[in-house]
Structures are given as C-alpha cells and as structure tokens.
Amino acid sequence: MNIELIPAIDLINGQCVRLTQGDYLQKKVYAEHPEEVAKHFDSMGFKRLHVVDLDGAKSQHIVNESVLSAITSATHLKVDFGGGIKTDEDIQKAFDHGAAMVTIGSIAVTNPNLFFKWLERYGTDRLILGADVRKGKISIHGWKDDSGEDLLPFLKKFVDRGVQNVLCTDISKDGMLEGPDIQLYQQIITEFPQLHLIASGGVADKKDIEALAKARIPAVVFGKSIYEGRIDLKQIISEYEQ
C-alpha cells in the first residue's frame, strides 16, 4: 500500500499562501519566500511539488514565473505548475522556467482542441488534466464559474485521447481540513483504473492519507495540513517511500 505524496505551494504576490474553498478573500500567508519552503520539502525527501499561480488563475495568464524559476533552480523537486496557462506562450513559459509538468484546467473545458494540441506537442507525461469539482460539476477560471460539465463524461473525453495524469480537486473540501471525499476518488479510479489520479482537497492529517492509500488512490496533494502543523512530515515520508 503506497501513495505518492505531493506537497503544495500556492502563490499570491510571490508569497506562499492558502485559500479556503478557493476564496481569495480567505487568504492566509504562510511564508514570504516560497523557494525556502520548497527547499525544506526537498530536504525532507519529497520528490514532487505542486505549485499553483493563484494570481495567474485570476488574471488568466502566468504571473509568478520568477518564483517558479527560484524554486526549480534551488531544489531537485519535480515541479508541476498550474494557474493561468491559457496560451502557447504561457505553457512554454512554464516549461522554460523549470516546470517538469503543467496542470491545465480551464482550457481543457473552454478550448479542448488547444489542450489536445499541447498533449501531442509535449507528451502525456508532461501534462496533467486539472478537474476541479463542485457538486459533481467541473469549475473553471479559478473556481469562479461552473462549466456545467459532469465529471466522469468530462474525464472520459480526455482519457480516450491518451491523458494519463489527472489532478482532481474537490472544491468544497479544499482548505477545510475536514477530510477528503474518498468516495469521489474511488469512483474515478474505478471508472478509469489506468489513470495516475492525484487527489486534492481536504487532507487534515495522516489518517486521511492512510485512507486514500487504502483506497488505492495513486497520489495526493496537500498543503494546509502541512502549514498548520497537523502532519509529521518525517513520519509520512518514512511510511510512504517516495
């Protein structure tokens, strides 16, 4: 029983922050220098890092690429980067500044042909489909808008075209520290057992990670539980070899 552990850094104004349910008015700053946070994760033994440009998601173009560069040049972490990637220039900028992978959400809904073009150009191992879910529907544009698309049919369109990596965030759980929706992730992995599914939203403590691992979810992103001191990083790193 194993699970890939992926700590998260969310960026606003170049700072490491967390929101609650994606609400920019419910922002808490945890660190002034995200690259120092990333260096700590690197030193602990993590291999992956999930970085979200919240300014980019709001502005609909990449804003914090300099922070991405600082993180990737200061660590050995395999960084997946998302937020504000809307154009060919944006995605190339993310890769040019050190991202190993990119997470694409809104464009997959609003311009799927562009997503498929990127999939062909960069390969399935470098793109992550972001599926942000509220009440079973895909949300877009920094979680502000409901696309009206149901989760499983949405995923099927992309899995059928070769998508291998999916990051699914349960918006209702995000930042709440009330536990993840295990049933949601089990539903996805049952329907698409070939996916490298990354669960995101709600992880409060080690028990939540254990529950996801027991449900055979391949990977988990978590942030607030780290910054609030609810998880012993040494302990989980030792238990789930990365």
SS3 125: coil
Tell me the sheet residues that pair with 4: 219
170 assigned to active site: no
Residue 211 tokens read as 């529950």
Which residue out of 132, 170, 174, 208 is catalytically annotated? 132
Beta bridge partners of 51: 9, 81
Residue 19: partners with Cβ closer than 8 Å, 6 or more residues away: 10, 26, 27, 54, 174, 175
The residue written with tokens 């220039």 in the block is: 89
Measured distance CA(231)–CA(235) in Å, rounded: 8
Given the residues 10, 55, 90, 170, select the one marked as catalytic. 10
Cα separation, 15 vs 237, in Å, equals 25
Based on the residue annotation, tell me whether 10 is a catalytic residue of this protein.
Answer: yes
Give the integer Cα–Cα distance in Å for 132 and 71: 25
Residue 144 DSSP code = T
Question: Which contiguous run of DSSP H or E holds residue 10?
Answer: strand 4-12
**Location of structure tokens 């520290």:** 177
Active-site residue set? 10, 132
